[in-house]
Amino acid sequence: MPILQTKLHISLAALAATAALLAAPAFAADFYSGKSVDLLIGAPPAGGYDIYARALARHLGQNIPGKPNIIPKNMPGAASGRAAGFLSTLAPKDGTVIAAIMPGAVMGPLLDEKAEVLFDPTKVQYLGTANNGTRVCVARKDAKVKSFDDVLREKAIFGGVSANDSTRDYGYMHKHTSGALYDVIAGYNGTNDIGLAMERGEVDGACGWDWASFKSQRPDWLRDHKVNVLLQVALEPNEELTRMGVPHVWNYVKREETRKVVELIIGQQVFQRSYIAPPGVAPEQLAVLRKAFDDTMKDPQYLAEAEKLRIDVSPLPGAQVQAIVQKLHATPKDIVEKARAAIRP
């Protein structure tokens, strides 16, 4: 092709790309003006995921051109799989429905071979995650287990929710990788329900409770010394918990092969609170929603409310979350099989 013609093609392509970028905000403003966006919350009311999602809902619309109303709607079930499945199959693919999901929904199709696959975590489009978190094991102050070392010696009863929920999966993970002796009683309706069961004396404690959620849901437990925080679980130690003297999970995982298994399971915490759009949303629409999410995470009014609610904000952008999910789902099969065994009863 002649050089002049080549340059002309390049110039036209560049102009087209620039025009698309300039047109996207105007299109979005026209599209969203006077509309509302449903935010499906894949968790029950009053729990940590609900608190985070409703805080986001109060600010996200102000950062979307056209300023649509964001309407939060709880759709719990299958550790957020129900909400993600509805989003992927039945919801409009025009950017008017998004969802807040737990990391267990993303990891479930990988780690639970018997799970009903309600959606493909590698196909949905990630807007971002509000925080990457640390999870903890906690026990009532009056329980026999006062430390994680006690958990390795004493029988106890710990509460859990369901398969693909961290309270159940992490409960079994610690039993199989560290030798915890507690029994996991599953079937509770979220961490708020587990907290009530602890107050009634039905269970001694729980594992897999998100630290940010715990502080937001039960600030009086920490203030009034009603619980012992037994263990912190994350790829890297949490500074606050370390200052409190809470031991890290790696203290109790001795074998290198076991460590790889635990790393896969807890790797999901990097995208602790993901917000997703359906497969098939147009690229320009996805770009608008991702930018609005990123802008909200820096919005002074949102950050001020987050501080009042005692929720941590340590976001990752959507493209980065998308890449992490793809990488986790490409984990070698032998490690996946061992991780599956670790979270089973």
Sequence length of the chain is 345
What's the pLDDT at 16?
A: 42
What's the pLDDT at 27?
A: 54
3-class SS at 174? Answer: helix
Q: Are the C-beta atoms of 20 and 28 separated by less than 8 Å?
A: no
What's the pLDDT at 164?
A: 87
- Give the C-alpha separation, 190 to 103, whole Å: 14
| pLDDT of 214 strictly over 70 | yes
Residue appearing with tokens 């039993």: 175
Q: Supply the mean pLDDT for the chain.
A: 91
Above pLDDT 70, what percent of the chain? Answer: 91
What's the pLDDT at 9?
A: 41
| pLDDT of 169 strictly over 60 | yes
What's the pLDDT at 29?
A: 60
What's the pLDDT at 118?
A: 86
Q: Given pLDDT bands bounded at 50, 70 and 90, which one contains residue 260?
A: very high
Residue appearing with tokens 């807007």: 127
- Give the model confidence (pLDDT) of 232-258 as tens digits: 999 989 999 999 999 999 999 999 999
- Give the model confidence (pLDDT) of 264-279 as tens digits: 999 999 998 999 999 9
| pLDDT of 216 strictly over 70 | yes
What's the pLDDT at 13?
A: 40
- Give the model confidence (pLDDT) of 180-194 as tens digits: 999 999 999 999 999
Report helix angle 103-111 to 256-266, nearest 10.
130
- Give the model confidence (pLDDT) of 58-97 as tens digits: 999 999 999 999 999 999 998 899 999 999 999 999 999 9
What's the pLDDT at 97?
A: 98
What's the pLDDT at 132?
A: 86
Q: Are the C-beta atoms of 173 and 262 separated by less than 8 Å?
A: yes
Residue 276, both tokens: 């997703």
Across the range 301-328, mean pLDDT stands at: 95
Q: Given pLDDT bands bounded at 50, 70 and 90, which one contains residue 304?
A: very high
Q: Supply φ then ψ for residue 7, to 5 degrees.
A: -60, -40
Q: Given pLDDT bands bounded at 50, 70 and 90, which one contains residue 112?
A: confident
